Amino acid sequence: MICSEMKEPNVLYGPLPSAFSNHANESLSTLMYAKLKQHGTKVSQIDGVTGKQQTFKDILNSSCLLASSLKSRGLIPGDVLSICCENRLEFTIPVVAALYIGVVCAPINPSYTTDEIVHALTISKPKIIFCSARVLASICEAVRKCKFVSEIVLFDENEESMPFKVTFYSKLLESAPQASDASVFEPMKFDSRHQTAVVLCSSGTTGLPKGVMLSHANLEAFVGAGGNTRQLNLSAKDTIMGLVPFFHGYGYGMILNCMLLGPKCVILPKFEENLFLSTIEKYKVTVLPMVPPLMVFLAKHPLVDKFDMSSVRNVFVGAAPCSLDTINAVSRRLKLKGVRQAYGMTELSIAITVSSMDSNNPLTVGKLVAGAEGKVVDLETGKNVGPNVVGELCFRGPHIMQGYYDNPNATANIIDKNGWLHTGDIGYYDEQENFYIVDRLKELIKYKGYQVAPAELEGVILTHPGVKDAAVIGIPDESSGELPKAFVVKQPGAKIVEKDIVDYVKGKVSSQKRLRGGVEFVSAIPRNPSGKVLRRILRDGIKSKL
């Protein structure tokens, strides 16, 4: 416990870490191995579409086989593997196998275009990529430009010839050395603080995604919250909905908690109204990790009343702001004590505050998770402020990322010399140490939980020959959070219309980055003397027209 005389003024401290995160001399690899053994033949994952089941023992055996196969292929601690596929039973296996042998896991969004895949691969430079048939063609095309990739592993059986060496996942497991049986396999031990476990893509305000490095110790701090009943409140008796994308920090973190805590996870590859609701009813799902668009669906869609939702006891919402009206509507409809919000970012090991089960305040994003420190600093002076004073949220502790992969300058811009990570988000805390989000300094657009960088879209738009200047902002949308909207200055004499720009961008970016907020042609883009776009002026102009 931190003694009161050691505490800084106006700094909040989370509760003591649980036993889960009390492994200073142990890595997550040995903890994961022990927990999978402990859960045994209990069902771990169910494919919500096919009904196929996978036990914890199945995951243990397959992950040991895969870890041995990867070692036999020459992968060593610090090497990188990537996973690019929709949510599926197999996704978990390379995640766990990588932890065992100190290989870094770098998940990739399967909806990325080929160029976006190339950028993501170039960040972490994986030696091997696991993928599904859905994205195989794009992966093969991207790998032609990424000479550091030596092998593609396909989860699906596919007899079609491909222009790159493709190994079937099942064959890779079969090729494992004989000393790979889970009963004799021994995961490697690492210095938790220095061994990178995962590199997750996170968009920054300057454009393309950066690679966020999280160590074994970072993830131990994250899953430590799972063992704290005031926070996640998950147990082996729960059944959790596995719809949040696994490549995202939110979904990746959910996988870890499921493996360690033992709840059953019902996996869906995508959202379909009837399938989503019937899965909850059929498998008596108790925990729903949600994003705002799904909350709007639960709050408003008449189809919800046709299914039995009485099993649901715990609803989390994160990744983007959710309106109070929507939260209250879902609570009433599902007869919940309340909907729990959380706040975090990939750079903070996914979640840094979580509201408690007994919270009757739907506005708060909760209190600090175990082991974390938090404060709010004045936007002008940078000094710590007290309760109910709005400023920038800053956090410190074992949850702070190792840094951005191969990008020390970007790391230094977000983590100060005293170890405080400056989020760029504006908020405050109250006398009960509950945190609240007011707005954000960062310019990221949150579309259905995805982070969309305006600068990246501006760069694409500016490549159009008819465009002289451009700026992009997010405009509020109840169902999606925010929609990307472009302001465009035409080149003299250009005859372009809105559809030209929308279609042009659509052909160059993944779905979440499309200009669903439309295009507005203007005579000039407001900028400050250094050339930075004054997005506030653009937003104020939108508000004045409402």
Give the per-residue pLDDT at 208: 66
Read off φ and ψ for residue 414, nearest 5 degrees.
Answer: -115, -25
Tokens linked to 191: 């210095």
Q: How confident is the model at residue 206 (pLDDT cuts 50, 70, 90)?
A: very low
Residue 197 pLDDT > 50, yes or no? Answer: yes
318-376 confidence digits (pLDDT tens): 776 677 778 888 999 999 877 888 888 899 998 899 887 777 788 889 999 988 999 99
Q: Does the residue 235 lie in any domain? A: no
Which of 63-67, 70-74, 316-320 has the least mean pLDDT? 316-320
Q: Kindly tell me the burial class for residue 342, based on how many C-beta atoms sit within 10 Å of its own C-beta (0-12, 13-18, 19 or more).
A: buried
Q: What is the mean pLDDT of residues 385-401?
A: 94
SS3 content of the chain, % helix, strand, coil (to 5): 35, 25, 45
For residue 277, the number of C-alpha atoms closer than 13 Å in the C-beta half-sphere is 17
SS3 label, residue 153: strand
474-502 confidence digits (pLDDT tens): 999 988 889 999 999 998 899 999 999 99
| Closest of 314, 370, 365, 324 to residue 344, by C-alpha | 365
Long-range CB contacts (< 8 A, 24+ apart) of 140-145?
Answer: 140/164, 140/166, 141/114, 142/114, 142/117, 142/118, 145/118
Q: Does the residue 470 lie in any domain? A: yes
Give the per-residue pLDDT at 127: 96
Q: Does the residue 425 lie in any domain? A: no
Q: Does the residue 83 lie in any domain? A: no
Residue 293 pLDDT > 90, yes or no? Answer: no
Which CATH number is 501's domain given?
3.30.300.30
Residue 119 pLDDT > 50, yes or no? Answer: yes
148-187 confidence digits (pLDDT tens): 999 999 998 775 656 667 888 888 888 877 656 777 788 8
Residue 72: Cβ within 10 Å count? 12
Q: How confident is the model at residue 204 (pLDDT cuts 50, 70, 90)?
A: very low
Percent of the chain, pLDDT > 90? 55
Dihedral angle of Cα 356, 452, 539, 339, to the nearest 10 degrees: -20
Q: Does the residue 485 lie in any domain? A: yes
Give the per-residue pLDDT at 229: 41
Q: Does the residue 189 lie in any domain? A: no
SS3 label, residue 129: strand
Q: What is the mean pLDDT of residues 246-262?
A: 92
Residue 230 pLDDT > 50, yes or no? Answer: no
Give the per-residue pLDDT at 379: 81
Residue 53 pLDDT > 50, yes or no? Answer: yes
201 vs 204: CA distance, rounded Å: 10
Buried b (16+ CB within 10 A) or exposed e, 232-258: bbbeeebbbbbbbbbbbbbbbbbbbbb
Q: Does the residue 395 lie in any domain? A: no
Which of 194-198, 292-296, 368-372 has the least mean pLDDT? 292-296
Give the per-residue pLDDT at 36: 95
Residues in the chain: 546
Q: Does the residue 503 lie in any domain? A: yes
Q: What is the mean pLDDT of residues 61-66?
A: 94
Residue 531 pLDDT > 60, yes or no? Answer: no
> Which structural domain, as residue segments, surrounds residue 458?
445-544
pLDDT, mean over the chain: 87
Tokens linked to 103: 């290989």
Give the number of domains in the chain: 1
Give the per-residue pLDDT at 22: 46
Q: What is the mean pLDDT of residues 278-300?
A: 90
Specify the residue for token string 């191995």: 33
515 vs 513: CA distance, rounded Å: 7
